[in-house]
Amino acid sequence: VKGLEKRFPIQKGWFRKPGYIYAVNGVDLTVYKGETLGIVGESGCGKSTLGRCILRLVEPTGGTTIFDGKDMGQLNKRDMRAVKRHMQMVFQNPFDTLNPKLTIRHILSEPLIAHHIPLAEREDLILKTIEAVGLSMHHLSRYPHEFSGGQRQRIGIARALMLRPKLIIADEPVSALDVSIQSQILNLLQDLQEQFELTYLFISHDLGVVEHIADKVAVMYLGEVVEYGKKHELFQRPMHPYTKALLSAAPVSDPDERADRIILQGDLPSTSNPPNGCKFHLRCNSCLEMCKTVAPKLQEVEGQFVACHLYGHT
């Protein structure tokens, strides 16, 4: 993903001035085959919109997305369809997206029918997939309301797997679940990643969840990536003041390990009228004079990437 941008026009009369909401504002990211990239940030930071832009569920307003060597902005309808087959989404609350009137068998066959998978292959694919997510053929004739939250998420994952995608974008896939169920689903996702050679983009506001599952992490703030790198480095040696504040507020297993808690000043500024310079400067306790006017760029510092004037020259 290079320079990805999504701005939404603000409708007349909603705010006084016509303008734009910059939900995603020039994001550069690379996800390698077989890895899990965690995207973290507060709600409203643009992480869901970023995921939806990559899948072309919403059309980005700028930038390029290269998937498996193909520039998605250059594809005709037919090629786009073929590429989209390899990118699937797992949603936060599968119940919202599982049609209550359909049996699980019917729900799982829909993507197969849409992509013209021959009838003879469908039943076999359905059986293999329902078993892969830890359910069985007996569940296939039931309806979504007959399942628990965790089971429904298994069904949501099965549906995403039906076409054997390469990339799965999971948007807060365990946030609606009880903590005891969360780790079961995370472990399942990890098993499936190995079994089906999947690449994950894992969107979450929950640092503990991301720490569990991700190989690399991108931290987003107001539509931009402010820090990006390998998980262990980022968690042990965060560089951006925003990442430091997020980590200091997250629950840790060993309280002695907790750095002093950094309390963020102020609220998340509006995405329709973001501050000049570094967008974090109103809340940053290390703010320099130049931060108020000059926007820092994401740059490499010792193998990690950070957008902050405290590091190197931008």
Alpha-carbon distance of 132 to 270, in angstroms, equals 43
**204 near Mg ion, judged by CB under 5 A:** no
Contact between 92 and Mg ion by CB under 5 A: the answer reads no
Does position 140 interact with ligand SF4 (CB under 6 A)? The reply is no
Counting contacts by CB under 6 A, is residue 296 touching ligand SF4?
Answer: yes
Binding of ligand SF4 by 287 (CB under 6 A):
yes
Among Mg ion, ligand SF4, none, residue 181 binds (CB under 5-8 Å by kind) = none
Sequence-distant (≥ 6) Cβ neighbours of residue 3 within 8 angstroms: 26, 27, 28, 62, 63, 64
**Shortest spacing between CB 300 and ligand SF4, in angstroms:** 16
Q: Which of 63, 1, 67 is nearest to 28 (CA)?
A: 1
Binding-site member from 170, 201, 203, 278 for ligand SF4 (CB under 6 A): 278
Indicate the residue among 80 and 294 with the shorter CB distance to ligand SF4.
Answer: 294
Q: Which of residues 45-74 bind Mg ion (CB under 5 A)?
A: 48
Q: Which residues of 12-39 are buried (b: 16+ CB within 10 A; e: fewer)?
A: eeeeeeeeebbbbbbbbbebeeeebbbb
In whole angstroms, what separates CA 80 from the centre of its chain? 21
Identify whether the C-beta of residue 81 lies closer than 8 Å to the C-beta of residue 45.
no
Is position 281 an interface residue for ligand SF4 (rule: CB under 6 A)?
yes
130 binds, among ligand SF4, Mg ion, none (CB under 5 to 8 A by kind): none
Q: Which stretch binds Mg ion (CB under 5 A): 41-49, 100-108, 162-170, 296-304?
A: 41-49
Tokens in use for 181?
């169920």
Report how far apart, in Å, the C-alpha atoms of 264 and of each of 10, 21, 279 are: 28, 23, 14
DSSP label of 262: P
Q: Which stretch binds ligand SF4 (CB under 6 A): 28-36, 120-128, 150-158, 273-281?
A: 273-281
Token pair for residue 312?
């190197």
* 199 touches Mg ion by CB under 5 A: no
Supply the minimum distance, in Å, between the C-beta of residue 51 and Mg ion. Answer: 8
Interaction site with ligand SF4 (CB under 6 A): 240-241, 278, 280-281, 284, 286-288, 291, 296, 308-310
